[in-house]
């Protein structure tokens, strides 16, 4: 979602900001802007659409040593030039970019700014106008900034310029992510470290409700009372080459291909010196002392949670519930006496999940975050973290993070089981190794997958995924992948549910992608396929070796039956990729979507 960058120093500010915004493109946005300040004042450039359009609009001769930039994912007001950030106060003294949602902006406007005519439809503009109002009333800028922040309800990450103090970028955050990056004779601000990796790998975390004064030579963090807080920087362990596409046409394809490597890396990262899979004792104790695990997640991560439940329950015999984060807060089930909350989140920033975390912490419940991003909000705020080690995932459609989530959940299940004295029926390291090899085979089958996409999806307006048992959950993920990037209406169903309603939608030629990886339900799912074929459907069956039948569209390499989702999802990712490509869709940046969903 919205991304923020800022730079103060003697290099080419506008170029650093534009490059930073390009690195944030993956988060999803629909307009972008920058503001740079020099002796002649503040120069604002903003455009609807891609950064490339903004780049064209920026005066390439403009010199400046301080500026801020923003990619906007519309929440309040349509995507447009006027709603794009930065926004300025009435006198144009203050210029501000914001990520998040100011829930009480209408009330603030009514109460404090009845006579101010806003230029945009955004919640953000209210913030900058409020600030100017308080300064006009006689407050010093810092006091006015703090006072403004104290009135805001909702979430924010803010970077602010003051025309009358060209030596400082004012920064603050609450719930939305924001970091300060440190350099030699310059400093930067960024929604995530990737944006500014071009200039520094040294970052300082900002905590909620702090304000930070960023100048060329210093970074001063203050708490609500104005007291200075010391905080050591950390090194962002990101490899710049990880965030380049290389020779790949799309990040999504690169990330699909990285999956075998990621699985091998996870095996390595979770092995001790004797090659035994291991997880920190306190995490295993937390799992084993819980009477029930509540998995909280959204989207693809929720689908990983559904499979993870199978792993943990079957291996460690701990009961698990899986909940959609956005529903949980106001739809909380009756909790068990001693729950453990497990948050699954690629980005570690998903606002819906974070809001549950805040809520359950108030009750004193223990929490574990499984994330790809060390230092992310969900990681920092939970009691424990397990990392995915998948490397940055840039394409909006999650692929390698999903399989990494499954691998880490399987390890959690296996290690917890061992600690409970439950003998394992298989060697998980070895099985994950077999999976990595199987993934390689699947990643090499791109031509077959492209053909399947052509045969089944080129002209269809919808597509159904069916499966039974764990295949049902993989089908849900396959449907999400297909709909989000190709815009084909796709839904996943439990094979047995079709006859209870959905089968009414089957028409001549409706594509049905059926998964058949589970021996105990193989005959039943094939029965469901026959039912839809009898009504005209065009079936594409993806089965596991050993369970295949003559007309199956693709046969997966054999892996342990419990772990089949790790391989079964790959054809679905590739088929979705090619279906989107054939329809000329923007595969990496699908419409309306954001990578890091930082609003509730
Ligand atoms: C779909 C996708 C989303 C995310 C969801 C949660 O491909 O990526 O459904 O899975 O927005 O995001 P995280 O995992 O970052 O919490």
Q: Are residues 189 and 41 in the same domain?
A: yes
| pLDDT band, residue 262 (cuts 50/70/90) | very high
The answer, yes or no, to whether residue 595 has pLDDT greater than 80, is: no
Tell me the CATH number at 218: 3.60.20.10
Average pLDDT over residues 29-36: 94
- Pair 562, 494 in one domain: yes
Give the pair of three-digit tokens for residue 69. Answer: 């930039």
Q: Which of 149-153, 173-177, 339-343, 558-562 has the lowest mean pLDDT?
A: 173-177
- CB contact set of 249 (below 8 Å; sequence gap of 6+): none
Contacts of 430 (CB under 8 A, 6+ apart): none
The rounded Å distance from CA 24 to ligand 1 centre is 16
Closest residue by Cα to residue 278 from 386, 439, 403? 386
Domain of residue 365, CATH code: 3.40.50.10490
Q: How remote is the CA of residue 532 from the centroid of ligand 1, in Å?
A: 31
CA angle centred on 74, ends 23 and 104, rounded to 5°: 120
**Residue 600 lies inside a defined structural domain of this protein:** no
| pLDDT score of 56 | 95
The C-alpha angle with vertex 499 and arms to 494 and 503, in degrees rounded to 5, equals 90
| 554 band by pLDDT with thresholds 50, 70 and 90 | very high
Reported residue count of the chain is 600
Query: Mapping DSSP to helix (H, G, I), strand (E, B) and coil, where does residue 104 land?
Result: coil
Q: Is 443 a catalytic residue?
A: no
89 lies in a domain? yes
Q: Which of the 8 DSSP states describes residue 271?
A: B
Looking up tokens 């809520």, which residue turns up?
359
CA distance 66 to 63: 9
Query: How far is the centre of ligand 1, averaged over its atoms, from the C-alpha of 47 (Å)?
Result: 27
Q: Which residues of 59-76 are buried (b: 16+ CB within 10 A; e: fewer)?
A: eeeeebbbbbbbbbbbeb
Residue 75's pLDDT is what? Answer: 86
| SS3 state of residue 474 | helix
Q: How far is the CA of 585 from the centre of ligand 1 (A)?
A: 19
Instruction: Tell me the best of 301, 353, 585 to mutate to test the pocket of ligand 1, counting ligand atoms within 8 Å of each CB and taking the most.
Output: 301
Q: Answer yes or no: are the C-beta atoms of 415 and 318 closer than 8 Å.
A: no
375 and 267 share a domain?
yes
333: Cβ contacts below 8 Å, ≥ 6 apart: 321, 323
Domain of 172 in residue numbering reads as 2-238
Tokens of 503: 């089968």
Compute the distance between CA of residue 196 and CA of residue 1 in angstroms, rounded to an integer: 17
Considering the domain architecture, whether residues 474 and 504 belong to the same structural domain is answered as yes
Determine the pLDDT at residue 176. Answer: 86
598 domain residue, yes or no: no
Q: Given the structure tokens 């984060």, which residue do they identify?
A: 325
Domain boundary among 207, 238, 269: 238
Mean pLDDT over each residue of the chain, to the nearest integer: 94
Residue nearest to atom 10 of ligand 1 (CA): 300
Q: Are residues 219 and 268 in the same domain?
A: no
The pair of structure tokens assigned to 449 is 């997958």
Residues having CB within 6 Å of any atom of ligand 1: 298-301, 345-347, 350, 353, 397-398, 480, 484, 597
Torsion from C-alpha of 377, 381, 383, 387, nearest 10 degrees:
0
Q: How many other C-beta atoms can be found within 10 angstroms of the C-beta atom of residue 175?
A: 22
Domain assignment present for 129: yes
Residue 523 and residue 573 in one domain: yes
Shared domain for 350 and 480, answered yes or no, is no
Reported as a single tens digit per residue, the pLDDT across 344-399 is 999 999 999 999 999 999 999 999 999 999 888 999 999 999 999 999 999 999 99
SS3 422: coil
What residues contact 535, with CB distance under 8 A and at least 6 apart?
A: 503, 506, 507
Which of 250, 255, 350 for mutating ligand 1's site (highest number of atoms within 8 Å of CB)? Answer: 350
Strand partners, 154: 102
Residue 43 reports pLDDT greater than 90: yes
Instruction: Let me know: does 228 contact 221? Beta carbons within 8 Å.
Output: yes
Q: What is the pLDDT of residue 432?
A: 97
Which atom in ligand 1 lies closest to the alpha carbon of residue 594? 11
- Same domain, yes or no, for 229 and 325? no
Helices 400-419 and 281-289 meet at what angle, rounded to 10? 80
Q: Is 55 a member of any domain?
A: yes
595 within domain boundaries: no
Instruction: Write out the two tokens for 15.
Output: 């170029």
> What's the average model confidence in pLDDT over 312-341?
95
Identify the pLDDT of residue 76: 87
* pLDDT at residue 382, as a whole number: 97
Q: Are residues 353 and 421 in the same domain?
A: yes
Q: Are residues 203 and 252 in the same domain?
A: no
Atom of ligand 1 nearest to the CA of 402: 10
**Cα 406 vs. chain centroid, distance in angstroms?**
16
CA 397 to chain centroid: 9
What is the average per-residue pLDDT within 23-42?
A: 91
Residue having the nearest C-alpha atom to atom 7 of ligand 1? 397
> Which atom of ligand 1 is nearest the CA belonging to 596?
15
Q: What torsion, rounded to 10 degrees, do the Cα atoms 581, 455, 502, 468 define?
A: -90
Take residue 223 and report the two structure tokens written for it.
């708490």
Q: Of 309, 293, 289, whose CA–CA distance to 301 is shortest?
A: 309
298, 324, 344, 372: which to mutate for ligand 1, most atoms within 8 A of CB? 298
pLDDT at 188: 98
What's the rounded mean pLDDT across residues 503-508? 93
419 inside domain: yes
Read off the tokens for 518: 């589970």
| Protein residue with least CA distance to atom 9, ligand 1 | 299
Residue where a domain stops, chosen among 415, 442, 469: 442
* 549 and 525 within one domain: yes
CA distances from 259 to 22, 255, 442, 477 (A): 25, 7, 10, 16
Tokens of 447: 């031509």
Average the pLDDT over 216-220 and give the result.
96
- Decide: helix, strand or coil at residue 594: coil
Residue 112 CB neighbour total at 10 angstroms: 15
The two structure tokens encoding residue 141: 């800028």
Domain boundary among 181, 214, 238: 238
Ligand 1 atom closest to the CA of 396, numbered from 1:
8
Same domain, 249 and 229: no
Distance 593 CA to ligand 1 centre (A): 10
The alpha carbons of the chain give a radius of gyration, in whole angstroms, of 25
Q: pLDDT tens digits for 90-147? A: 999 999 999 998 999 999 999 999 999 999 999 999 999 999 999 999 999 999 999 9
State how many domains the chain has: 3
Both ends of the chain: CA-CA distance in Å? 11
Structural element, H or E, at residue 145: helix 141-151
pLDDT 10s digits, 48-59: 999 999 999 999
> How many whole angstroms from 297 Cα to the centroid of ligand 1?
8
Query: What is the structure's pLDDT at 330?
Result: 84
Task: Indicate which residue's Cα is closest to atom 5 of ligand 1.
Answer: 299
E strand spans, 39-184: 41-48, 66-72, 87-88, 94-99, 156-162, 165-174, 179-183
**pLDDT value at 192 more than 90:** no
Asked whether residue 440 carries a pLDDT value surpassing 90, the answer given is yes
Mean pLDDT of 260-268: 96
> Does some domain include residue 594?
no
| Helix, strand, coil share of the chain (percent; to 5) | 40, 25, 35
208 preceded by cis ω (within 30°)? no
d(CA 174, CA 100): 9
Sheet (strand 186-190) strand order: 41-48, 31-38, 66-72, 3-9, 186-190, 179-183, 202-205, 234-235
**Active-site residue flag, 595:** yes
Return the structure tokens found at 49: 């659409």
Residue 239 has pLDDT above 80, yes or no: no
Share of residues in the chain with pLDDT > 70 (%): 99
């Amino acid at each position: 979602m919205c991304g923020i960058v800022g730079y103060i120093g003697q290099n080419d500010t506008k170029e650093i900001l534009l490059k930073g915004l390009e690195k944030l493109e993956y988060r999803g946005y629909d307009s972008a802007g920058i503001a740079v300040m020099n002796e002649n004042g503040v120069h604002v450039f903003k455009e609807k659409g891609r950064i490339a359009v903004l780049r064209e609009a920026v005066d390439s001769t403009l010199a400046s040593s301080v500026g801020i930039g923003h990619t906007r994912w519309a929440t309040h007001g349509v995507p447009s030039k006027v709603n794009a950030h930065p926004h300025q106060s009435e006198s144009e003294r203050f210029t501000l970019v914001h990520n998040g949602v100011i829930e009480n902006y209408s009330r603030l406007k009514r109460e404090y700014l009845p006579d101010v005519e806003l230029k945009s439809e955004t919640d953000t503009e209210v913030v900058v106008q409020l600030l100017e109002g308080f300064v006009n009333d006689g407050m010093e800028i810092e006091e006015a900034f703090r006072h403004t922040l104290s009135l805001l309800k909702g979430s924010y990450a803010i970077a602010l310029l003051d025309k009358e103090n060209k030596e400082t970028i004012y920064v603050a955050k609450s719930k939305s992510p924001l970091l300060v990056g440190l350099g030699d004779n310059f400093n930067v601000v960024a929604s995530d470290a990737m944006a500014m990796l071009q200039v520094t790998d040294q970052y300082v975390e900002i905590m909620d409700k702090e304000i930070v004064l960023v100048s060329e030579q210093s970074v001063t963090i203050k708490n609500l009372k104005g007291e200075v807080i010391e905080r050591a920087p950390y090194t962002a362990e990101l490899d710049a080459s990880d965030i380049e596409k290389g020779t790949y046409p799309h990040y999504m394809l690169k990330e699909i291909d990285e999956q075998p490597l990621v699985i091998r890396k996870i095996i390595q990262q979770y092995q001790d010196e004797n090659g035994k899979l291991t997880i920190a004792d306190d995490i295993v104790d937390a799992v084993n002392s819980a009477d029930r695990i509540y998995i909280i997640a959204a989207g693809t991560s929720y689908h990983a949670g559904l499979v993870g439940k199978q792993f943990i329950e079957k291996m460690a015999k701990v009961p698990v519930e899986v909940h959609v984060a956005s529903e949980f807060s106001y739809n909380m089930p009756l909790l068990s006496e001693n729950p453990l909350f497990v948050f699954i989140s690629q980005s570690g920033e998903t606002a819906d999940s974070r809001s549950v975390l805040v809520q359950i912490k108030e009750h004193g419940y223990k929490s574990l975050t499984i994330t790809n991003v060390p230092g992310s909000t969900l990681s920092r705020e939970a009691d424990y973290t397990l990392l995915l080690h998948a490397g940055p995932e840039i394409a909006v459609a999650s692929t390698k993070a999903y399989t990494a989530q499954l691998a880490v959940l399987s390890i959690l299940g296996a290690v917890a089981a061992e600690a409970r004295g439950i003998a394992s029926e298989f060697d998980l390291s070895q099985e994950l190794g077999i999976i990595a090899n199987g993934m390689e085979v699947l990643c090499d089958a791109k031509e077959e997958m492209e053909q399947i996409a052509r045969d089944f999806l080129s002209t269809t307006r919808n597509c159904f995924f069916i499966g039974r048992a764990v295949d049902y959950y993989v089908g849900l993920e396959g449907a999400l992948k297909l709909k989000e990037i190709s815009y084909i209406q796709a839904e996943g169903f439990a094979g047995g549910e079709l006859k209870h309603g959905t089968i009414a939608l089957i028409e001549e030629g409706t594509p049905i992608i059926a998964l058949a990886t589970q021996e105990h339900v193989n005959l039943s799912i094939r029965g469901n396929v026959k039912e839809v074929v009898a009504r005209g459907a065009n079936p594409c069956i993806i089965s596991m070796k050993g369970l295949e039948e003559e007309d199956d569209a693709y046969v997966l390499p054999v892996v342990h039956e419990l772990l089949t989702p790790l391989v079964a999802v790959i054809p679905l990712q590739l088929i979705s990729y090619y279906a989107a490509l054939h329809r000329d869709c923007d595969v990496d940046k699908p419409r309306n979507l954001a990578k890091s969903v930082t609003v509730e």
